[in-house]
Amino acid sequence: MPDTSADRCPNCFEENQGDPTCPHCGWTVGDRPDSPLYLAPGTPLGDDYVIGRVLGHGGFGITYLGWDSALDTRVAIKEFLPDRLASRGPQPPQVDVYPKQKKLFDDGLARFQEEARILAGFQHYPGIVTVFKFLSANGTGYMVMAFVEGITLGQYLKSKGDKIPWQQALAILTPVMDALRETHGAGLLHRDICPDNIYITHDRQVKLLDFGAARRATEKTLGLNAMLKEGYAPDEQYRSNGQQGAWTDVYGLCATLYRCVTGQLLPPSLDRIRKDGLQPPSTLGVSLPEGHEAALLKGLAVDAQDRWQSIEAMQDAFGIGPPPPPPPPRFWPFWKKMLIVLAVLLLLTGFIGIGIESIPRPAKLTVQANVPEAMVYIDGEKIGLSGIKHEIDAGEHTVRVEKSGYEPVETRVALMAGEEGRILRARLSPRPARLVIASDFPDATVHIDGKAVGSPGIEHTLAAGEYTVRVERPGYEPVETRITLEPGGKRTIRAELIPKKAKLVIRSRQENDMAYINDKEVGPTGRKPHILAHGEYTIRVEKEGFAPFEEWISLAPGEQRELRAKLEPIPEFGSRYKPGRSFRDKLQDGSPGPRMMVIPAGMFRMGSPPEERNRDADEGPQHQVRIPRSFAMGVTEVTFEDYDRFTAATGRELSDDHDWGRGRQPVINVSWSDAVAYAKWLSAQSGQEYRLPTEAEWEYAARAGTTSPYPWGTNETSACAYANSYDVSGEETHHKGWDSLSCDDGWANTAPVGSYPANDFGLFDISGNVWEWTADCWHEDYQGAPTDGTSWGKEDGGDCTRRVARGGSLFGKPWFLRSANRFEVPMDKKAVDLGFRLVRTLKP
């Protein structure tokens, strides 16, 4: 069984003469590991190795400092232990694999062993850490590697203020590029290149670490995936069918170079697909040699095919040649070898003969400090903890005593040869502690030991000791806690303030009314307050014969508010115009007009919240809109059957049906002016007011009381059951080449109106089929938008040469079907996927 000698610490493997507490690392016999997953220091592994302290813990396993008892040297030992597939068993060191994860674990372990085998083939290559051996034990696998000391490139950047010059970054990463040339040549991709996986040793060698995410360039899928690092992982790594190759590592390398010289992280690659927010280094004030910025940006292309396809090609663009071959062996003539050996022997014997009598006996010095576990340095060299007797050469020395959190003490001492029992006492003064109280509310008040000391976020300098901290804010329950501050320490505590309940009274001048809060009936209005959590609410008051009152309010924590609802009598529309009822107006020739549906008055939140997936900035800010009166809207989009009657009566040019059919197909290839002309003709024919809907009316009718992104729910996966959009058959027929639904909605071209289920207001095809014109001029966002449902014209920067279209179409990307999606269209444009539907003003 392997073992360390009794005079070595099993945690750090430094000599400690069997002391139960190591003077070098502070480990004490009996200390438990920091995690139940970790093996305890001193655990034997195989015939030759001993486990020491933990060096690192990642998603695929744990890396330990180890001891090779056969060669008496330190090594690094990596244990395969993905913590989502397995844990340390009830009888350590055995690994216990979760029953349902056995196949994934076995596949991952096989890949781990294959990684070790491949990397062992590069053991003489300077840019890759040497792999000595692979062991199977404890139900898992272990990779034994060379132990190198140094820092990661991420740590190095932090020490340099987060960025370094271009030529220095290129010099550091050149060995990494050379290493990848070799591994790519062996068919192995790294797939996790970032500053934390690039290691700079103390002798300034650069090593590429952690091939735990590596895979063969020919592998298509993995059951055990790497944790992708945003800003360094390209688009293809997020996709199960993404084709990966040398270009995948090219992206990670160039992202690391970009981070080195700009100090900034790249936007996530998935965010760059739709709108690329990458800023070239030159726009950030970073100057690169001619041609290098273009080469860097090519390596960062979103599409893999636009990147450098090999490391060699990228190096050529940066003017970096391949590494030189190793020098040939140097052979010395036999007589020269003998002269060198003879010279060395003469020097050794000469020095030994001279030196025996001249070496003085060392002195023995014990440094005692007023705090435990202080570290002692002699002439800048660490010799161990205070309280231990050390042998020191005679003469004058500088003694320094340090401990974290205390001011160091430094003094000069003169020691005589052979001096015994010398004791030096050092008194360390505690450094002040620093305390930060964090809160989500910067206007809260912080009290320390009863004294108001300001707002959260301020750093307080205090003597070490115990304190009572209290945080207060109007409308919130106060938070109070007792804390202990260590000398020189910095502590941040978070105060989670719990809001007090708000009180809302709803009043009106009418009797026998009914109040609703967020559509929940809460009883008649009156003096009794409603106890509510702070937040946003829609308040509605109804009474038969009166127009409903509806208002959106925001209640602050602890707020007390009275809301007065003004109920006004409504004109008598008659039963024909009750919400939810459809009708058709009679035209002058006696024929019926298009079928219209009565839409009730109400209130809704227009636009999309910032967190909605695939939203655009033009959909915000989200705002409350009141639709004060009922109106009627076309049950379907205007059809060719309806529109052809108009063109026949007015002599207007027939609209091209693109050979998709007329009749009940939605009319297409109509401009905004064509749609307005049809509405005026229909108004004249019916004696009623027909028009294009305002953008607010359209979204209110489309949502039909829903707040989800789509009229049917939260995502596009069910779209084929509800809308005619760009699907499998659409791509097969039209070959647009952009994102499409993975289902088939039954129509490659436009569908006859009413082919899909109606929404909750009874409107068909409100999503998909054809884009629908609205009355509004185009605005870049909703800043200054009307809140009463009216049309938005040229005010506030509106462009009335362009109009808003809504609803998505048979050619639209899936997320165009969202209720909040907007589309700007030149008002004279005609398109095969552009039509309209009308609204009618209701009169008593």
Annotated binding site for ATP: 78
Strands lying side by side in the sheet with 198-201: 150-152, 198-201, 206-208
Task: Give CA–CA dist 491/2, Å, rounded.
Answer: 43
State which H helix or E strand residue 139 sits in.
Answer: none
Fill in the DSSP letter of residue 768.
Answer: B
Task: Give CA–CA dist 227/59, Å, rounded.
Answer: 7
* CB contact at 8 A, 263 and 257: no
- Contacts of residue 126, defined as CB under 8 A and 6 or more positions apart, other chains included, come to 175, 205
Beta-bridged to residue 73, according to DSSP, are: 68
What is the β-pairing status of strands 596-599 and 631-634? Answer: antiparallel
What phi, psi does 353 have (nearest 5°)? -65, -35
- At 225, is the secondary structure helix, strand, or coil? coil
Q: What token pair was written down for 666?
A: 């939605």
Closest CA to 508 of 471, 472, 473, 546: 546
Q: What token pair was written down for 326?
A: 């190793």
* CB contact at 8 A, 824 and 774: no
Binding residues: 78
- At 60, is the secondary structure helix, strand, or coil? coil
- In SS3 terms, 627-682 reads as ECCCEEEECCCCEHHHHHHHHHHHCCCCCCCCCCCCCCCECCCCCHHHHHHHHHHH
User: How many other β-carbons are positioned within 10 Å of the β-carbon of residue 22?
Assistant: 23
* CB contact at 8 A, 110 and 136: no
What phi, psi does 723 have (nearest 5°)? -155, 155
* CB contact at 8 A, 601 and 628: yes
State which H helix or E strand residue 301 sits in.
Answer: none
- At 102, is the secondary structure helix, strand, or coil? helix
State which H helix or E strand residue 22 sits in.
Answer: none
Alpha helices in 286-407 (DSSP H): 292-299, 311-318, 334-355
Task: Give CA–CA dist 297/429, Å, rounded.
Answer: 54
* CB contact at 8 A, 41 and 53: yes
Closest CA to 562 of 551, 574, 577, 578: 551
* CB contact at 8 A, 694 and 789: yes
CA distances from 60 to 63, 141, 188, 212, 826 (A): 10, 12, 18, 7, 54
Task: Give CA–CA dist 154/210, Å, rounded.
Answer: 14
Task: Give CA–CA dist 698/598, Å, rounded.
Answer: 13
- Contacts of residue 264, defined as CB under 8 A and 6 or more positions apart, other chains included, come to 258, 279, 284
Rg (C-alpha) for the chain, rounded Å, is 38
